[in-house]
Amino acid sequence: MRSRARLRPVPLAVTLAVLLASLAAGLLVGAIALPPGAVLRAVAGLPSGLSAMEEALVFELRLPRVLLGALVGGLLALAGAGYQGVLRNPLADPYLLGSAAGAGVGATLVILYVPVAPRLGVPLAAFAGALAGVALAYALGRAAGPGTGTLILAGVAVSSFLSAAQTFLQQSRLEDLQQVYTWILGGLSGASWQTLGMVAPYALVSTVVLLLHGRLLDLLAVGDDEAAALGVRAARVRFTVLAAASLATASAVAVSGLIGFVGIVVPHLVRILAGGSYRVVLPLSFLGGAAFLVLADLLARTIVAPAELPLGVVTAFVGAPFFLAVLRSSRGRSS
């Protein structure tokens, strides 16, 4: 049992290969055609023959966008797997505890009432709002009583309240609705090295913490009493994982807006292909989520080029049918 729970070389190699292929596709394909060999040589630091404008396109637009997409996708999928493990609910997603609604309120406030804010004003407000929403849900859940059920209900209540607050704010400034909805639908058009640098420290901390808790999440899966008998403090593990997953979600939302289904679909796919141990699910979810969002963003910016689809729309079109198929197959197995 223990050997089967370890991350085996073949699934890891396949996932890494898919991720590298998606990163290459994101760099090489776009509305403006560039010689693939020249692009790869430029990225490798070799003489490429690209013009200064073409090199700027690669290094200032495509490369930071691809890297940011990989980071956001990996964080959302990793956070989704962490939530599912700590709440013992395969339908849990990174936005369950109010992070999406909190981020929406923070971003909306800046867009509507601080139009002269610097470019990073909206991401910072979304980041703070997401963390505040989760903190409020956790505090209410703990006050209502122990157990994951009360925590989930608190998250639903906080999300509903904050969503109503965001709607009220939007109605007060109808002329700015387009900017708000553009952020809500998600996207990576604002990707830059600056945004990557802003989110990287939080992404690193949350990723390391979650990956180190894979074994403990496996122990929690058998029940708090059994885990306690093995010396695991379930409450402390649950709080740490929730905090790290919330930090990962807030970091992703801050720079991409609200992008759905990544945190549900990718961990489900990993469980189908590689098993249910969180020592396997967590790292493969991060890599798989990174590949998934890079490919989704590639579709978003090429299907209707030179225009661009909202990234959240693309992930919904791809993720919703897959998720319904997973639910149907799960129901068939249970019956």
**Residue 5 predicted with pLDDT over 70:** no
Q: What is the mean pLDDT of residues 248-270?
A: 93
Span 47-103, pLDDT tens digits: 888 899 999 999 999 999 999 999 999 999 999 999 999 988 888 889 989 999 999
CATH number of the domain bearing residue 131? 1.10.3470.10
More confident residue, 120 or 84: 84
**Residue 152 predicted with pLDDT over 50:** yes
More confident residue, 323 or 181: 181
**3-state DSSP call for residue 309?**
coil
Q: Is residue 3 part of a domain?
A: no
Q: Is residue 61 part of a domain?
A: yes
For residue 329, name the pLDDT band (cuts at 50, 70, 90).
Answer: low
Average pLDDT in the chain: 88
For residue 330, name the pLDDT band (cuts at 50, 70, 90).
Answer: low
CA pair distance 193, 191, nearest whole angstrom:
7
- What pLDDT is stored for residue 220 in this prediction? 87
Q: What is the mean pLDDT of residues 134-143?
A: 91
CA pair distance 154, 139, nearest whole angstrom:
9
> How many percent of the chain have pLDDT more than 70?
94
Q: What is the mean pLDDT of residues 262-284?
A: 92
Domain count, the chain: 1
CA pair distance 33, 259, nearest whole angstrom:
27
Q: What is the mean pLDDT of residues 117-138?
A: 87
- What pLDDT is stored for residue 114 in this prediction? 82
Span 218-246, pLDDT tens digits: 988 877 777 777 778 888 999 999 999 99
Q: Is residue 293 part of a domain?
A: yes
Residue among 89, 23, 27 nearest 293 (CA): 23
Q: Is residue 105 part of a domain?
A: yes
- What pLDDT is stored for residue 171 in this prediction? 85
More confident residue, 190 or 289: 289
Q: Is residue 243 part of a domain?
A: yes
For residue 3, name the pLDDT band (cuts at 50, 70, 90).
Answer: very low
- What pLDDT is stored for residue 127 in this prediction? 94
Q: What is the mean pLDDT of residues 171-185?
A: 82
Residue among 72, 86, 71, 93 nearest 243 (CA): 86
In terms of residue numbers, what domain contains 249? 9-334
Between 28-42, 103-117, 254-268, the lowest mean confidence (pLDDT) is in 103-117
- CA neighbours closer than 13 Å in the CB half-sphere of residue 98: 32
Q: Is residue 2 part of a domain?
A: no
Q: What is the identity of the amino acid at 232? A: V
Q: What is the DSSP string of 313-332?
A: HHHHHHHHHHHHHHHHHHHH
Phi, psi torsion values for 88, nearest 5 degrees: 55, 45
Helices (H) and strands (E) in the chain, counts: 15, 0
DSSP conformational letter for 30: S
Q: Is residue 111 part of a domain?
A: yes
Q: Is residue 4 part of a domain?
A: no
Residue 97 contacts residue 151 (beta carbons within 8 Å): yes
